[in-house]
Amino acid sequence: MPRARFQNQDDWQTAATYETGSGCLSFYILPVLAVFVIVGFLTMLALHAPISTSAVLVNNATIQTPISSGSNLVSPPQGPATVEVTTQLWNFSINNSASSSGLSSIFTPEIQYWAKDIVRWANAASVDPNLAAVVMQIESCGDPQALSRSGAIGLFQVMPFHFHRGENGYNPETNALRALNYLSRSLEKAGGNPRLALAGYNGGVGVISRSEWAWPAETKRYVLYGAPIYEDARSGATSSVMLGEWYRKYGAGLCRQANRRLGISE
């Protein structure tokens, strides 16, 4: 769950402009007519040239966007997927994302411990339970007493200022309520794009509208692991290479702590 960050970024588009002058009509009439003929011929060719497009699924509607346009789509962090696959991979309806009735089996035992609760919490927030599980996996590996150096607490590592006065942020119900409401807001801001929603959850919804190169390093890393893990979960995969890599590099100690706290191995 992010701290507040502020950054202004403007996108500019420029178009070349041309100035033309006219000389003596009687002297230049033939060259000018020749130019008009050539320009007209080139214009006809341009109008008949095919424009490549890719399908974008947004809120159950299919919208055609030019592949070369400056769209908000962001390619997955790795893999040679085609543009068509990439588009449908990271863009899907928010309504469809909440239709899951269970969790993927790829998540660690500590996350499976909370499976029924995750489904209930996620459905209440109109979020895919597998996306909620990705956040819990990376944030705490299911440890309800997790505390970060920055002060984030609980299952979803929510910063204290997100709680209302008198709320116990370590309470799983309260922690999930505040976290998944924020994730739902991030999804809405991202137009249903789960990859951008994960970035917004970690770095604040403000990062969603920025170019990826301007994201904090932590947010880039968060998405690097979170987005492929989520795709593995929602696609029905039985294992996840990126989840295994995250576990080896960052999650082993975190999950051992959660395992002991939950008494899973006892």
Q: pLDDT digit string (tens) for 227-249?
A: 999 999 999 999 999 999 999 99
**Using one digit for the tens of pLDDT, what is the confidence trace for 92-104?**
233 333 334 489 9
- As a residue count, the chain comes to 266
Q: Radius of gyration over alpha carbons of the chain, in Å?
A: 25
Residue 19 has pLDDT above 60, yes or no: no
| H or E segment to which residue 186 belongs | helix 172-189
Helices 172-189 and 115-124, axial angle in degrees (round to 10): 50
Average pLDDT over residues 125-143: 98
What is the architecture, at CATH level 2, of domain 96-262? Orthogonal Bundle (1.10)
User: What pLDDT does 265 receive?
Assistant: 80
CA distances 169 to 117, 177, 257, Å, are 16, 10, 19
pLDDT tens column, 42-75: 555 444 444 333 222 223 332 222 212 222 222 2
Pairwise CA distance, residues 53 & 84, whole Å:
9
Q: Among candidates 183, 145, 149, 181, which has minimal Cα distance to 164?
A: 181
Chain centre distance of CA 11: 20
- Distance between CA atoms of residues 171 and 163, nearest Å: 11
Please indicate, yes or no, whether the overall pTM of this predicted structure exceeds 0.85. Answer: no
Across the range 187-211, mean pLDDT stands at 97
